[in-house]
Amino acid sequence: MAQKKIVYRCFVATLVTFMLAGGAGVTRAAEPAAVESSTSVIGAASPFIDRANKEWEVAIQTGDADALSRPYREDAVFIGPDANPVRGRAAIRAMYAARAAAKKRIAAASIQSEGRIAAGPDDVYEWGSGWIFVQSADGTRSKLGGRFLTVWHRQADGTWVIIRNLAF
């Protein structure tokens, strides 16, 4: 069990390093002299991020897989605490639908977005923590969740979507 934790932690550390150093696989040509400021990039992304986070808090409780997967780009990747990558919006939707079918009653949910940084004119890294409170048949509650790192990308039409999401 201890070896599995070490392997998992090494995997997560490598993945986070790749995401932060590599811009989540997005490459760019040299930027023009008038580059959009970091503050304005974050300002452009924030309404999309805030709306998606609020919608997640509601949708995770109701099991609305469509709402949960809506902010993801078609080729997005979600990696949960089990370290298994889920590739593509359709697969991410299916993952959320399967969780909803498990019939665990989620009594409450919250996301705390603790930081955002522009990684270029079209990418924002967001980090924080997300929690769900599951209520069992006997009324006891358990808290599940943890830290996350999400990479948001601005599309050509100006909307922002998730391209990578790592939940610890």
Give, for all 168 residues of the chain, the pLDDT tens digit. 554 454 345 444 444 444 444 444 443 444 443 457 999 999 999 999 999 999 999 999 999 999 999 999 999 999 999 999 999 999 999 999 998 887 678 999 999 999 999 999 999 999 999 999 998 888 889 999 999 999 999 999 999 999 999 998
The domain spanning residue 96 has which CATH number? 3.10.450.50
The verdict on residue 42 lying in a domain is yes
153 lies in which domain range? 2-23+37-167
Q: Is residue 29 a part of any domain in this protein?
A: no
Q: Which of 103, 112, 96 is nearest to 60 (CA)?
A: 96
The predicted model scores a pTM of 0.79
| 31 found inside a domain | no
Identify whether 57 is part of a domain.
yes
Residue whose pair of structure tokens reads 């949910």 in the numeric block: 109
Specify if 70 maps to a domain: yes
In a domain, 28, yes or no: no
Q: 1 in helix, strand or coil?
A: coil
132 in any annotated domain: yes
Tell which residue, 113, 110, 111, 119, has the closest CA to residue 46.
Answer: 113
- Residue pair 151/24 in contact by the 8 Å Cβ criterion: yes
Count of structural domains within the chain: 1
Asked whether residue 32 is domain-assigned, the answer is no
